[in-house]
Chains A and B, each alone.
Chain A
Amino acid sequence: DGGITQSPKYLFRKEGQNVTLSCEQNLNHDAMYWYRQDPGQGLRLIYYSQIVNDFQKGDIAEGYSVSREKKESFPLTVTSAQKNPTAFYLCASSMLATQYFGPGTRLTVL
């Protein structure tokens, strides 16, 4: 089955700890994206990558970092510098100008 997987579905961390969210796709898409969703709000772009070994900041990149060492993988690290990390994080990939989303990871920082 082709698709986008995100793991884990729920993640809990203590304040001050870095945490890495996984995103994998087997759709052979070049572009991948990370979004943050807060309750009652739309999605905001954190980082995106058009090709391997290249990525750009989105609208709210502060306190986050990414890597794109392989075409199928685009992990997101939420660092201790992110002031309000508790949110629902969504990964997407795109082909032919249409984005497809993974199931999301809900991060709660205690």
Chain B
Amino acid sequence: GNSVTQMEGPVTLSEEAFLTINCTYTATGYPSLFWYVQYPGEGLQLLLKATKADDKGSNKGFEATYRKETTSFHLEKGSVQVSDSAVYFCALEISNFGNEKLTFGTGTRLTIIP
């Protein structure tokens, strides 16, 4: 079956530090990969995505590269801000004749301290 494994949190960093949140996956077929962010008390927002191997998704200073050889999609940011504090979810989707279902990781809580 399909599964996503994320780096366990919580992760606490100082402002302007470099961020990496690890994500690896297991999938049958060729998945699309996503990072979603959830701020306290809110729904999920799409942060970035990549649909094929070697694609790089990027948004708001965050980046992730689809690595088929290591089945990974690690999230990185060069200099984090307090406003980046949230829970981050890695997810994969395999489209099957229009039947699109996401498989999520358990989430990584990130706290940035000033």
Contacts and interface: CB of A to CB of B under 8 A. Distances in A.
A106 B40 CA distance: 12
Contacts, number: 53
Given A41-B106, A42-B107, A43-B89, A101 B100 contact: no
A2 to B, nearest CB: 14
Contacts of B100: 31, 94, 97, 99
Interface residues of A, number: 24
Contacts of B102: 33, 43, 45, 99
Interface in B42-67: 42-46, 49, 51
A99 B95 CA distance: 12
B68 interface: no
12 contacts: A43-B44, A43-B102, A58-B101, A92-B44, A94-B100, A99-B100, A101-B36, A101-B45, A102-B43, A103-B42, A104-B41, A104-B42
Interface residues on B, range: 20 to 34
Contacts of B22: none
A90 interface: yes
Interface of B: 4, 32, 34, 36, 41-46, 49, 51, 89, 93, 95, 98-102, 104-107
B99 A90 contact: no
